[in-house]
Amino acid sequence: MFFQHVYDKSLAQASYFIGCQKAGVAIVIDAKRDVDTYLEIAKQNNMRITHVTETHIHADFLSGTRELAAITGAEMYLSDEGGNDWQYEFAHTGLKDGSVVTVGNLTLEVIHTPGHTPESISFLLTDKPASLEPVMLFTGDFVFVGDIGRPDLLEKAAGLIGTKEAGAIQMFDSIQKFDALPDYLQVWPGHGAGSACGKALGAVPSTTVGYEKIRNWALQYENDEEGFVKYLLEDQPEPPKYFAMMKHLNKVDRPLLTEVPKQKKLAGDEVKVAMSKGIKLIDARNKDEFAAGFIADSINIQGNNAFATWAGWFVDYNEQFMIVANDNQIEDLTRKLMRIGLDNVLGYISDVNSVGVELQKADIIGIDEFKTYLNRDDIQVIDLRNATEYKEGHIDGVPQIFIGTLPQNLDKISKEKLLVVHCQSGDRATIGYSLLKKFGFKNVKNYSGSMNEWLKLENPVVVDEELTLA
């Protein structure tokens, strides 16, 4: 058997290339959309991708299953579980609980494991030349290392009211199936630490059934369904705004993108004209570079592993946008964007000076100045972290607005007062600073050191008290 774990750090998303070397055929599970990665693996190992599948209708990334099938001619094997509302709306070979997919000498048995979503399935892999016993379990968003998939995304992200409690109960039942599996089974999940599909995912790429029985909280509840449901639903992080669109696009017959797009390099005048028409400029430079000189009305979303997630919060799918990035960075950013379906890029520039406008400088302050602004009626200090982070410890008297919902809560913010923003490490604070400036807030300061510096210098925090503006 040939096995390769493919991991996208930008979305903490795992996919799997599994092949039968004797037959020269392979299956890909939960493919990302820039599928050239799998084509190269197949080429290097003299294999043909003949099967493609996925564990469920994903919400956190745009699946490359259909792109890979279109390029290779592979058959798509997808879940037909979950009822009429949870069916893929394009041609495929349907899978039910107990279905078996054969790939050369390998077999993948389908286990219906609903909870995260009603149609979710896991795959039990047997490498027949080596053993008649299964060796691996591919769980998708069912069981992670140390955690399980959240059942509230359908309600919070897709607006399907009343689904989270039902999903949590389904998850409890599915966990009993997992608990009955042999301890030696390797478990390969769909996500690692950093994904919004759970609240406490481990950082290591795989685990075993036996290890999860010891350390995973979800397997400690045994017959306590009520306690399980309560713990599963509480304190889940905010799902990114783009999740609802992913859930839709992964279900329907959408246009395919079979190559990584080449972005057009724009002239300064083109950028100036486009911005005058309201086209957004996303500045992907480091926050320090941005602070030293940025184009007015641009939004600083740094081109790190969180780039696509934050772009998905602030860029609509029906609007064009532009990027500030180095020439050697633009392909990586394009890949990150296409993985969540943000394909409507007008072009990019690598030098902000080329636009021919006076650059702005960000007002960055240190901790000593920041302290002088606390607990004053004439100044509004805002914590831009999520609700869970805020409850775990925040500065006394400082209210919270989650950065992802900042544009929807501008009415809670004063244009007359001095505004000071902070977050955990300063990355979200630079997004917030640039957004507030774009929305016409003139007197804004960014405490870039944020909570990391505040805690490092042993300043006090308040725990659990809620003072949330939005």
Instruction: Say if CB 229 and CB 169 are below 8 A apart.
Output: yes
Which amino acid, 370?
A: F
Q: State residue 16's pLDDT score.
A: 98
Confidence of residue 226 (pLDDT cuts 50, 70, 90): very high
CB-hemisphere CA count at 13 Å for 345? 27
pLDDT exceeds cutoff 80 at 262: yes
**SS3 (DSSP) at 416:** coil
Instruction: Say if CB 384 and CB 390 are below 8 A apart.
Output: no
Per-residue pLDDT tens for 419-453? 999 999 999 999 999 999 999 999 999 999 999 99
* Ordered domains of the chain (ranges, CATH): 2-249 (3.60.15.10), 268-355 (3.40.250.10), 364-456 (3.40.250.10)
Partners of 468 in the beta sheet? 400
Least confident of 132-146, 160-174, 180-194, 403-417: 160-174
Per-residue pLDDT tens for 108-140? 999 999 999 999 999 999 999 889 999 999 999
What is the mean pLDDT of the segment spanning 285-313? Answer: 97
pLDDT exceeds cutoff 90 at 352: yes
d(Cα 64, Cα 448) in Å, to the nearest integer? Answer: 37
What is the mean pLDDT of the segment spanning 327-340? Answer: 98
User: Percentage of the chain surpassing pLDDT 70?
Assistant: 96
Q: Which two tokens stand for residue 144?
A: 């992670």
Q: State residue 468's pLDDT score.
A: 62
Q: State residue 239's pLDDT score.
A: 85
DSSP string computed for 39-88: HHHHHHTT-EEEEEE-SS--SSS---HHHHHHHH-PEEEEE--S-GGG--
Q: Which two tokens stand for residue 319?
A: 């609007």
What is the mean pLDDT of the segment spanning 350-364? Answer: 97
